[in-house]
Amino acid sequence: MEIILTVNKQSRKVEVRPAETLLDLLRRLGYKSVKYGCGEGACGACTVIMDGRPVNSCLILAVTVDGREVTTVEDLGTIQKPHLLQSAFVESGAVQCGFCTPGMIMAAKALLDRNPSPSEDEIKEALDGNLCRCTGYVQIIEAVRLAARRMKAEKKKN
Ligand code: FES
Ligand code: FES
Protein backbone atom coordinates (compact mmCIF):
# COMPACT_ATOMS: atom_id res chain seq x y z
CA MET A 1 0.00 0.00 0.00
CA GLU A 2 1.19 3.50 -0.75
CA ILE A 3 1.05 6.21 1.89
CA ILE A 4 2.18 9.82 2.07
CA LEU A 5 3.59 11.12 5.33
CA THR A 6 5.75 14.03 6.36
CA VAL A 7 9.02 13.17 8.06
CA ASN A 8 11.13 16.01 9.39
CA LYS A 9 9.20 18.53 7.26
CA GLN A 10 9.74 16.49 4.08
CA SER A 11 6.82 14.87 2.31
CA ARG A 12 7.49 11.19 1.56
CA LYS A 13 5.46 8.91 -0.66
CA VAL A 14 6.28 5.31 0.27
CA GLU A 15 5.12 1.75 -0.25
CA VAL A 16 4.52 0.00 3.06
CA ARG A 17 3.92 -3.64 3.91
CA PRO A 18 0.77 -4.53 5.89
CA ALA A 19 2.65 -5.55 9.05
CA GLU A 20 5.43 -2.97 8.86
CA THR A 21 5.75 -0.72 11.89
CA LEU A 22 6.48 2.99 11.82
CA LEU A 23 9.79 2.14 13.51
CA ASP A 24 10.78 -0.23 10.68
CA LEU A 25 9.62 2.24 8.05
CA LEU A 26 11.60 5.14 9.52
CA ARG A 27 14.77 3.04 9.74
CA ARG A 28 14.23 1.78 6.19
CA LEU A 29 13.98 5.42 5.06
CA GLY A 30 17.32 6.15 6.74
CA TYR A 31 16.24 7.71 10.05
CA LYS A 32 18.57 5.50 12.05
CA SER A 33 18.25 7.58 15.23
CA VAL A 34 15.01 5.69 15.84
CA LYS A 35 16.14 2.66 17.82
CA TYR A 36 14.69 -0.82 18.16
CA GLY A 37 14.87 -1.65 21.87
CA CYS A 38 12.06 -3.96 22.96
CA GLY A 39 9.63 -3.79 20.05
CA GLU A 40 6.69 -3.86 22.45
CA GLY A 41 6.24 -0.37 23.84
CA ALA A 42 8.24 -0.89 27.04
CA CYS A 43 11.53 0.99 26.55
CA GLY A 44 10.91 4.23 24.63
CA ALA A 45 14.03 3.85 22.45
CA CYS A 46 11.84 4.22 19.36
CA THR A 47 10.10 7.44 20.50
CA VAL A 48 9.32 9.97 17.80
CA ILE A 49 6.94 12.92 17.77
CA MET A 50 3.81 12.39 15.69
CA ASP A 51 1.46 15.32 15.21
CA GLY A 52 2.97 16.97 18.29
CA ARG A 53 2.80 13.98 20.62
CA PRO A 54 5.53 11.53 21.62
CA VAL A 55 4.73 8.00 20.46
CA ASN A 56 6.38 4.59 20.52
CA SER A 57 6.92 4.01 16.81
CA CYS A 58 7.26 0.24 17.37
CA LEU A 59 3.58 0.09 18.33
CA ILE A 60 2.25 1.94 15.28
CA LEU A 61 1.56 0.29 11.95
CA ALA A 62 3.02 2.24 9.09
CA VAL A 63 -0.24 1.97 7.11
CA THR A 64 -1.94 4.10 9.76
CA VAL A 65 0.39 7.07 9.44
CA ASP A 66 -0.90 8.19 6.05
CA GLY A 67 -1.19 12.00 6.21
CA ARG A 68 0.61 12.27 9.56
CA GLU A 69 3.57 14.42 10.47
CA VAL A 70 6.52 12.70 12.15
CA THR A 71 9.63 14.25 13.66
CA THR A 72 12.79 12.36 14.60
CA VAL A 73 15.89 13.62 16.35
CA GLU A 74 17.56 14.09 12.94
CA ASP A 75 15.39 17.21 12.56
CA LEU A 76 16.56 18.85 15.78
CA GLY A 77 20.14 19.86 15.25
CA THR A 78 23.51 18.96 13.82
CA ILE A 79 26.93 18.33 15.34
CA GLN A 80 27.89 21.85 14.33
CA LYS A 81 24.63 23.41 15.52
CA PRO A 82 23.01 21.17 18.14
CA HIS A 83 19.55 21.80 19.56
CA LEU A 84 19.60 23.17 23.13
CA LEU A 85 18.35 19.80 24.39
CA GLN A 86 21.17 17.99 22.60
CA SER A 87 23.89 20.25 24.02
CA ALA A 88 22.33 20.09 27.49
CA PHE A 89 22.34 16.26 27.37
CA VAL A 90 26.02 16.21 26.41
CA GLU A 91 27.05 18.82 28.97
CA SER A 92 25.11 17.16 31.78
CA GLY A 93 26.62 13.73 31.19
CA ALA A 94 23.20 12.41 30.17
CA VAL A 95 24.62 10.57 27.16
CA GLN A 96 26.60 7.46 27.93
CA CYS A 97 26.10 4.55 25.50
CA GLY A 98 23.60 6.81 23.69
CA PHE A 99 21.10 4.10 22.80
CA CYS A 100 18.23 5.70 24.72
CA THR A 101 19.23 9.26 23.87
CA PRO A 102 17.26 9.95 20.65
CA GLY A 103 14.05 8.67 22.24
CA MET A 104 14.72 10.56 25.49
CA ILE A 105 15.34 13.77 23.60
CA MET A 106 12.16 13.44 21.55
CA ALA A 107 10.13 12.75 24.70
CA ALA A 108 11.77 15.76 26.37
CA LYS A 109 11.16 17.95 23.31
CA ALA A 110 7.47 17.06 23.26
CA LEU A 111 7.32 18.00 26.95
CA LEU A 112 9.09 21.36 26.56
CA ASP A 113 6.99 22.21 23.50
CA ARG A 114 3.83 21.97 25.58
CA ASN A 115 5.28 22.98 28.96
CA PRO A 116 8.39 25.19 28.78
CA SER A 117 8.89 25.24 32.58
CA PRO A 118 8.28 21.70 33.81
CA SER A 119 8.77 20.72 37.42
CA GLU A 120 11.02 17.78 38.28
CA ASP A 121 7.93 15.61 38.74
CA GLU A 122 6.58 16.66 35.36
CA ILE A 123 9.91 15.77 33.71
CA LYS A 124 9.91 12.38 35.45
CA GLU A 125 6.35 11.74 34.33
CA ALA A 126 7.09 12.75 30.71
CA LEU A 127 10.14 10.46 30.57
CA ASP A 128 8.49 7.65 32.47
CA GLY A 129 8.24 5.40 29.41
CA ASN A 130 11.87 5.88 28.39
CA LEU A 131 14.38 3.52 29.94
CA CYS A 132 18.09 4.18 30.36
CA ARG A 133 20.43 1.44 31.48
CA CYS A 134 23.46 3.69 31.93
CA THR A 135 22.87 7.03 33.58
CA GLY A 136 20.55 6.46 36.52
CA TYR A 137 18.31 9.28 35.20
CA VAL A 138 19.70 12.06 37.44
CA GLN A 139 21.77 13.55 34.62
CA ILE A 140 18.91 13.20 32.16
CA ILE A 141 16.54 15.14 34.41
CA GLU A 142 19.22 17.78 34.96
CA ALA A 143 19.74 18.03 31.18
CA VAL A 144 16.04 18.68 30.58
CA ARG A 145 16.01 21.34 33.31
CA LEU A 146 19.12 22.97 31.84
CA ALA A 147 17.62 23.00 28.35
CA ALA A 148 14.37 24.48 29.70
CA ARG A 149 16.30 27.29 31.44
CA ARG A 150 18.29 28.06 28.32
CA MET A 151 15.24 28.00 26.06
CA LYS A 152 13.52 30.44 28.38
CA ALA A 153 16.57 32.74 28.39
CA GLU A 154 16.72 32.59 24.57
CA LYS A 155 13.05 33.42 24.27
CA LYS A 156 13.54 36.48 26.51
CA LYS A 157 16.36 37.70 24.26
CA ASN A 158 14.22 37.47 21.11
S1 FES B 1 11.33 -0.35 20.85
FE2 FES B 1 9.50 0.75 20.99
S3 FES B 1 9.17 0.98 23.12
FE4 FES B 1 10.91 -0.29 22.98
S1 FES C 1 22.81 6.23 27.87
FE2 FES C 1 22.90 4.06 27.65
S3 FES C 1 20.85 3.43 27.80
FE4 FES C 1 20.79 5.53 28.25
Pocket test for ligand 2, best of 43, 47, 99 (most atoms within 8 A of CB): 99
To test the pocket of ligand 2, the residue of 36, 101, 142 to mutate (highest count of ligand atoms within 8 Å of its CB) is 101
Is the pLDDT at 158 greater than 90? The verdict is: no
For residue 156, pLDDT beyond 90: no
- Confidence category of residue 157, pLDDT binned at 50, 70, 90: confident
Q: Is 43 in the pocket of ligand 1 (CB under 6 A)?
A: yes
Domains and CATH numbers, the chain: 2-75 (3.10.20.30), 84-157 (1.10.150.120)
Q: Best of 134, 138, 141, 142 to mutate for ligand 2, by most ligand atoms within 8 A of CB?
A: 134
By the 8 A CB rule, do 44 and 113 touch?
Answer: no
d(CA 89, CA 83): 10
Taking the C-alpha atoms of residue 112 and residue 75, their distance in angstroms, rounded to an integer, is 16
Pocket of ligand 2 (CB under 6 A): 95-101, 132-135
Mean pLDDT computed over every residue of the chain: 97
Q: What is the DSSP string of the chain?
A: -EEEEEETTEEEEEE--TT-BHHHHHHHTT-TTS--SSSSSSS-TTEEEETTEEEEGGGSBGGGGTT-EEE-GGGT--SSS--HHHHHHHHTT--SS-SSHHHHHHHHHHHHHH-SS--HHHHHHHTTT---SSS-SHHHHHHHHHHHHHHHHHHHH-
What would the pLDDT profile of 109-149 be if each residue is shown by its tens digit? 999 999 999 999 999 999 999 999 999 899 999 999 999 99
Q: What confidence tens digit (pLDDT) does each residue in 86-104 have?
A: 999 999 999 999 999 999 9
CB-ligand 1 contact for 76 (6 Å cutoff): no
- Atom 2 (ligand 2): residue with closest C-alpha? 97
Residue 155 has pLDDT above 90, yes or no: no
Which listed ligand is nearest to 100 at the C-alpha? 2
Cβ atoms of residues 72 and 29 within 8 Å: no
- Proportion of the chain above pLDDT 90, given as a percent: 95
- The pLDDT value given to residue 143: 98
Give the ligand with the smallest distance to the CA of 46. 1
Provide mean pLDDT across the span 33-45.
Answer: 98
Share of the chain above pLDDT 70, in %: 100
For 15-25, write each residue's pLDDT tens digit.
999 999 999 99
What is the band of 56 on the pLDDT scale with cuts at 50, 70, 90? very high
In terms of DSSP bridges, do strands 69-71 and 47-50 run parallel, antiparallel, or are they unpaired? antiparallel
